Chains A and B, each alone.
Chain A
Amino acid sequence: DQQVKQNSPSLSVQEGRISILNCDYTNSMFDYFLWYKKYPAEGPTFLISISSIKDKNEDGRFTVFLNKSAKHLSLHIVPSQPGDSAVYFCAASNTGSARQLTFGSGTQLTVLP
């Protein structure tokens, strides 16, 4: 039972354009969402997060949007750079109980020069 789903295993974008990575979740108890970036042979690196009381959070080139009614969040990267090429994981947690993160399966982003 996948509670966090990233339905696109890969995405290719031209340098300078916008990258949009999507994530859906099924557990309505999730109240905190995070995006991580992962390079090969390295651990995930935190990018940006959003609490369920917000619908948007922005940090430089990265913006996360949350649509609670649709149980959907997205990560926008603009402008995309070749160094952004990595696997992006969406993660969610229910801060009221267990402190674990539930991860999606990841999306491989390739930014073409």
Chain B
Amino acid sequence: NAGVMQNPRHLVRRRGQEARLRCSPMKGHSHVYWYRQLPEEGLKFMVYLQKENIIDESGMPKERFSAEFPKEGPSILRIQQVVRGDSAAYFCASSPGPLNTEAFFGQGTRLTVV
């Protein structure tokens, strides 16, 4: 049973480009969470999705960021017109149900904006 798969592991984008981060949850998991970790900080919640629905996006910046979890395929976190401050590690987690149990995290995507 493969774990949570994130790709790419490393992504370099120039300022103004778009970044697409992918997350395939564990088999049987229909709940996906995205977190961002800035240098020297803990993980900060961004968005919680179930299949085809955004449940909670209270941690998502209002502009340039969007997330989806389609019926088929991975969850996508999309950052448009990236800026240097978007450089961070982005982690995806999945769980079989609402996060009252342990969420399993992927290895993360390290985004560097140059």
Contact = CB atoms under 8 A, between A and B. Distances in A.
Chain B associates with chain A: yes
Interface of A: 4, 6, 32, 34, 36, 41-46, 49, 89, 91, 93, 95, 98-106
Contacts, number: 69
Contacts of B102: 34, 46, 49
B91 A100 contact: no
Given A95-B100, A98-B48, A100-B48, A43 B41 contact: no
Interface of B: 4, 6, 31, 33, 35, 40-45, 48, 55-56, 58-59, 91, 93, 98-100, 102-108, 110
Contact of B56 (A45, A89, A100, A104): A100
A100 B107 CA distance: 19
Contact of A43 (B42, B44, B45, B106): B106
Contacts of B108: 41-43
A99 B55 contact: yes
Contacts of B56: 98-100
Contacts of A6: 42
Nearest to B99: A99
Given A95-B98, A99-B99, A46 B104 contact: yes
